[in-house]
Structure 1
Amino acid sequence: MSNASNLPFPKPPSVDFQNLHVGFVGLGNIGFAMAKNLATNGPKNIPNFPPVTIWNRTASKAETLVAEIGKEKAVIAATIEEIVTKCDVIVVNLANDDVVRVIYSQFCEVLKNHPHNRHKTFVETSTIYPRLAGDLDKMISVFPRTHLITCPVLGAPAAAHKSELILIMSGAYRSKQIVAYLMVPSVGRKVLDLGGDLEKALTYKLVANSMILGMNEVMAEALTFAGKSGIGSQRVLDLVKDFFPVPSMMAYADRMAHEKFDGSTGFSIDGGIKDAQHIRRLTTMYNCPMPTIDVAHQNLLTARAHFLRQKNEGKAKVDTLDWSAIITGTRASAGLGPLDRSEDAALVEIEES
């Protein structure tokens, strides 16, 4: 299958992909799917593609991945040192900025102790605050022939499993060429090139997430309004299906309506709060108010507070809360049971004066 229509640049010349070793650090919901698809689908795009080397702080996730696809497709690195010294391209997908800083500090320690003489590219796919990219670049670029590109991805875990992610890239042109050829169509369906400024791809990702978060906030308010007025959530789901048939919108509406708040199969509320904080920080810097995001941030905090109370009481139904539980905040504000609809008071319609 030709990738020309989905790639903004041609295949990089003079790159021996059959001897290019790729590593993957971070196997969360999205990272696991990305690493798995890169290891299994990469060979379809690149004959004799070497096994992908994987590393994760929780070793069991790496073991699960290898068990699923086989040792001929993926191998586990015992240490960060092994993956940095062995691999030419290291893809990173981590939960938050603090973890990213820690891991890159470890990368730099390895690079300092093990000088190399070939090109090495770090691919930062985590959703982090844009300014952090500059700090990471300063850390990485002091080492010869070592480069950083930012490549956050757009798409839910379901899209990641289907290799339907959109890859947003910023950084050095040649490095982007190499990574794009590696990851499309094996990991994603399309690349958006945001130029050389590493911060732009990360800013674009937060713009996209602001739209998803804003949509979820409005959806939560509508479902709560429908419930409080006696219309019912099913009517709202029918409305979404008939008038707004966007897959992500329908999926989040279904999660909210049926309390499918298991974050292990979606996007954790901690990640949602982190992204909302990044968006609000950026809008402050640019003097660009986004009041819907302010309210959404408050409702995410409310949802997490109620969830933690349930956990402390031993009543939580899931280990990790999905960010679709934002509806908890709107329900609490409307006097309904936040996470348990059995707590709902009898619906009372107020007669208009």
Structure 2
Amino acid sequence: MDRPQHINLLHVQPSVANPFSRPTTPGHHDALQIGFCGLGAMGYPMASNLAKWRKQHVHQPLPILVWNRTKAKADDLAKELGDELITVADSLEQIATECDIIITNLSNDDVVRNVYKKLAEALQDDKPTKNKILVETSTIYPTLAAELDTLLSSLPSTHFITSPVFGAPSAAAAAHLLIVMSGDYRSKKEVAHILCPAVGRKVIDLGGNVEKAPTFKLIGNAMILGSLELIAEVFTLSEKAGIGAPLVHQFIKDIMPAPPLINYGEKMLHDQFDGSKGFAIDGGLKDSAHIRRLATEMDAPMPALDAAHHHMLTARALHANAARVGNARFDVLDWSSLVAGTRVAAGLDGFDSSKHSNKVIPEKDDS
């Protein structure tokens, strides 16, 4: 991929949630058929919030048409919200041909590529006669975005934008995601007012190159993952030094009260490594591999990310061994479990902090 050029965000004021003016056609959103592909930990609450918001704010909206590889998840959403808000698609071909806007939130690059190939094949067989926008919200490598753009560019009236989102599943459930967009301007404008504030609190526009938003997403995730690595290291040091992680966690709350630092610190502090309720470690390893690849291509060393990647691998290996002998506490690990890597390297138990000595060492009374 080309080296990213400087991105000018000065036109996006901190107080502006959406940098795009509203689409010019009144009532246009009412008749839009929206499709949503991928109902995992992020996609499920995003599709749910979108359907509920449109029910409350759009005059007689069409139900969201949803598809998931495991159909039971789509059926669960339809049962939860009702037929008025959700319709389960029989196939990706139905999503492709019937929807005006198709939003995808998928697990990894291979799945994204395969889903878009099927959508493109369906649209090649039944060419669109009116505007159609495909919106990729997953975390993917930037060159895949360019590949998808090329794949779809030969189809009439078809546009593609990248729109990755920042936030944990809890933020998705609260419609508090940060949305980053790049690609066709008119398409971004249309989609921005559909997604914000229905599923997110703010939109950042990165221009017309579809690779820019995925690049920004990797950079943002690098900051988060690097922060997790630092927390894991200082928690482990504090346990070894007899100070204890709880005091360091309180220090974070007092001095650096950023929600990710507090929330992930809480998970590490109490060994809450259930990936089904957070960000699964396989996704973290996929993201860290992408970040390290990008850093290599840009000649920009990121040793903190190297350490985080290795510690996640250690945590996953420990978990796999525990699963083999029937001692695993969780079916899937959260990426905050990377602290197991720092703990084991320091001679501590990886997943059970109750076995650590975590009390302040009192001074001796020499009097």
The alignment's TM-score, normalised by the length of structure 1, stands at 0.94
Matches for 1:251-290 after TM superposition, within 5 Å = 251-290=263-302
**Matching residue within 6, 28, 36 for 2:40:** 28
1:156 aligned residue: 168
Alpha-carbon offset, residue 310 of structure 1: 1.1
1:39-68 Cα shifts (integer Å, max 9, x gaps): 001233322221101000111111111122
Alpha-carbon offset, residue 253 of structure 1: 0.2
Distance in 1, Cα, partners of 2:59 & 2:176: 22
Q: Percent identity?
A: 47
On the 8 A contact 2:96/2:122 being kept in 1, the answer is: yes
**AA aligned opposite 2:109:** D
Distance in 2, Cα, partners of 1:325 & 1:71: 39
1:97-127 Cα shifts (integer Å, max 9, x gaps): 0111111111112112212201111100000
SS in 2 for 1:255: helix
SS in 1 for 2:309: helix
1:240 aligned residue: 252
Bigger mean CA offset, 29-38 vs 103-112 = 103-112
SS in 2 for 1:195: coil
Matched, 1:225 2:244: no
Distance in 2, Cα, partners of 1:96 & 1:104: 12
Matched, 1:55 2:52: no
On the 8 A contact 1:283/1:289 being kept in 2, the answer is: yes
Distance in 1, Cα, partners of 2:166 & 2:332: 21
Matched, 1:6 2:17: yes
**AA aligned opposite 1:227:** E
Alpha-carbon offset, residue 340 of structure 1: 3.1
Number of equivalenced pairs: 345
Bigger mean CA offset, 190-199 vs 40-49 = 40-49
SS in 1 for 2:42: helix
1:151-173 Cα shifts (integer Å, max 9, x gaps): 00011111111111111000001
SS in 2 for 1:218: helix
SS in 2 for 1:259: coil
Distance in 2, Cα, partners of 1:261 & 1:24: 29
Matches for 1:1-353 after TM superposition, within 5 Å = 5-14=16-25, 16-341=28-353
Q: How much is the aligned-residue C-alpha RMSD, in angstroms?
A: 1.7
| Consecutive unaligned residues in structure 1, runs of 5 or more | none
On the 8 A contact 2:142/2:215 being kept in 1, the answer is: yes
Distance in 2, Cα, partners of 1:256 & 1:341: 9
Distance in 2, Cα, partners of 1:185 & 1:108: 29
On the 8 A contact 1:153/1:166 being kept in 2, the answer is: yes
The alignment's TM-score, normalised by the length of structure 2, stands at 0.91
**AA aligned opposite 1:8:** P
Distance in 2, Cα, partners of 1:274 & 1:224: 25
SS in 2 for 1:5: coil
On the 8 A contact 1:42/1:183 being kept in 2, the answer is: no
On the 8 A contact 2:271/2:353 being kept in 1, the answer is: no
On the 8 A contact 1:24/1:91 being kept in 2, the answer is: yes
**AA aligned opposite 2:19:** P
Alpha-carbon offset, residue 343 of structure 1: 6.1
Distance in 1, Cα, partners of 2:227 & 2:358: 28
Distance in 2, Cα, partners of 1:193 & 1:89: 19
| Consecutive unaligned residues in structure 2, runs of 5 or more | 1-14, 362-367
